[in-house]
Amino acid sequence: MAIMKRKILITGGAGFIGSHVIRLFVKKYPEYSIINLDKLTYAANLENLHDIESYPNYRFIKGDIVDLNFLNILFQKEAVDGVIHLAAESHVDRSLENPAEFVNTNVLGTLNLLQAALKSWGGNLEGKRFYQVSTDEVYGSAEHGDFFTEKTPIDPKSPYSASKAAADHFVSAYQNSFKLPTLISRCSNNYGPNHFPEKLIPLMINNILTDKPLPVYGKGENIRDWLYVEDHASAIDIIFHSGKIGEVYNIGGNNEWKNIDLIHALCKIMDEKLNKEPGTSAKLITYVKDRAGHDLRYAIDSSKLQSQLGWSPSVTFEAGLEKTVDWYLSNRDWLNHVTSGAYKDYYAGMYQNR
Ligand code: NAD
Ligand code: TYD
């Protein structure tokens, strides 16, 4: 079989999930050319990609998806035939403070990418792919016993999820109106190495290490379905290559945890790893004011992806959580650079002449 060459633009590749997707594609597909387009916001960290940055099939380009002119020039120059779009503002708490930033990046940025791809691909859509990486949060909050399927009505409840839902609608509209070959996936909460410590799991790990309170929103009864980040990356690989154009695929771990139970499980692992008396880390648990409009439960049904494309999660939560803790404990520099802001210097040091 002839080796297929592709040039794939992955947006947001310096972020948490994007860096795992980039690593998977760069290593698994040496015949592809992978471009990482990232604006390098506070959430980006090129140190995440240190191990693959000199691979010949990888390139980093600093740029903003909100700049349509820049995107048009990029698409013209690079003859990209696939887009995997992860760039976004991704933190719900920040979306409550600054919703316009989320509309700008998540809605306008996505629309710009759609426009630039369509313009550059023109009449020749054969073999092209525009893949929007979305979230289960667009479905809103699930009642106990219910699961989000791909047919669940979109009902976002936070400015973050509203902006992702709007972006998803634009992607579908481009498929319907212009026959752009699109794919959408909606994944549950990810965890694993390189997760920015503003999100629940890395924030708790960092606070335990620095002996700070562990802020539990409300009563800690909210439920999330957790998936190890490499399992999300493997799902993206399968959907990008084998997904049916125009379809939506849910991705999830079938792994629901109440926040407070998860935090206790994490505290237990941290006590063991740090040789502390059982119960030491849990003493840091502090109940704080609830997040505004806090979605009670996310629960995803990923049976379509499992039965039609043969994907399944490979990492159990017990193993994944331990791997994650081990990673943070053996990458204290990474954590220190992120919390001190020094990670921003990496770009200046590594990429100033490129
Ligand atoms: P992240 O915040 O860690 O990374 C986002 C990346 O996008 C950063 O590197 C940032 O610099 C880049 N970016 C932001 N604005 C940009 C712009 N205007 N132009 C170019 N690049 C820009 O996010 P993440 O957690 O890795 O999430 C990645 C994607 O996956 C997002 O689209 C998110 O909605 C989706 N998602 C996340 C989760 C999760 O649990 N984290 C779950 C499901 C879906
Ligand atoms: P988060 O990691 O922000 O992801 P999302 O809001 O996208 O699900 O939060 C996960 C859950 O943890 C959510 O119910 C909010 C809660 N949470 C806390 O209780 N304390 C915290 O400090 C954070 C960051 C989150």
Kindly report, residue by residue over 105-134, the tens digit of the pLDDT. Answer: 999 999 999 999 999 998 899 999 999 999
User: Residue 123: what pLDDT?
Assistant: 81
pLDDT in tens, 41-96: 999 999 999 999 999 999 999 999 999 999 999 999 999 999 999 999 999 999 99
User: Which ligand 1 atom lies nearest to the CA of residue 91?
Assistant: 2
Least confidently predicted of 141-145, 150-154, 233-237:
141-145
pLDDT in tens, 258-279: 999 999 999 999 999 999 999 9
Residue 82 CA to ligand 2 centre (angstroms): 32
Res 292: pLDDT: 97
User: How far, in Å, CA of 205 to CA of 212, rounded?
Assistant: 10
CATH 3.40.50.720 in the chain, residue ranges: 6-191+226-251
Looking at the chain, the domain(s) classified CATH 3.90.25.10 span 200-223+256-289+316-347
Sequence-ordered list of residues with C-beta below 8 angstroms from that of 126, at least 6 positions apart, any chain: none
Superfamily of domain 200-223+256-289+316-347: UDP-galactose 4-epimerase, domain 1 (3.90.25.10)
Ligand 1 geometric centre to CA of 123 (Å)? 30
Q: What is the rounded average pLDDT for all residues in the chain?
A: 96
pLDDT confidence bin for 354, thresholds 50/70/90: very low
Structure-token pair, residue 155: 């009902």
Q: What is the pLDDT of residue 344?
A: 77
- Ligand 1 centroid–CA 89 distance in Å is 6
Which sign, positive or negative, has the C-alpha torsion 16, 238, 178, 160? Answer: negative
Model confidence, pTM: 0.97
SS3 for 58?
strand
Identify the nearest ligand to the CA of 195 by its number.
1
Domain range 6-191+226-251, CATH architecture: 3-Layer(aba) Sandwich (3.40)
- Per-residue pLDDT, averaged over 214-238, amounts to 98
The answer, yes or no, to whether residue 353 has pLDDT greater than 50, is: no
Task: Work out the pLDDT band at 350, boundaries 50, 70, 90.
Answer: low
Q: Cβ(262)–Cβ(268) under 8 Å? A: no
Please tell me the residue having the least CA distance from ligand 2 atom 12. 200
66 touches ligand 1 (CB under 6 Å) = yes
Q: How far is CA 55 from CA 26, 52, 206, in A?
A: 8, 5, 31
- Say which amino acid occupies 176: N
What sign has the CA pseudo-torsion 70, 72, 74, 77? negative
pLDDT confidence of residue 53: 96
Single out the residue of 189, 99, 173 nearest to residue 132, CA to CA. Answer: 173
Instruction: Please tell me the distance from the alpha carbon of residue 148 to that of residue 230, in angstroms, as a whole number.
Output: 22
Question: DSSP state, 148?
Answer: B
Among 9, 10, 11, 17, the mutation site with the greatest number of ligand 1 atoms within 8 A of its Cβ is 17
Is residue 301 classed as helix, strand or coil in its secondary structure? coil
- pLDDT tens sequence across 174-209: 999 999 999 999 999 999 999 999 999 999 999 999
Distance CA 339, CA 206 (A): 9
Residue 219 pLDDT greater than 60, yes or no: yes
- pLDDT tens by residue, 8-21: 999 999 999 999 99
Fill in the amino acid letter for 91: H
The Cα 330–Cα 197 span in angstroms is: 15
Distance from residue 276's CA to the centre of ligand 1 (Å) = 35
For residue 352, pLDDT over 90 is answered with no
If you take atom 17 of ligand 1, which residue's CA is the nearest one? 64
Q: Which residues line ligand 2 (CB under 6 A)?
A: 92, 189, 199-200, 203, 215-217, 222, 224, 259, 291
The per-residue pLDDT for 154 is 98
The H or E element spanning position 291 is: none
The catalytic residue positions are: 136-137, 160
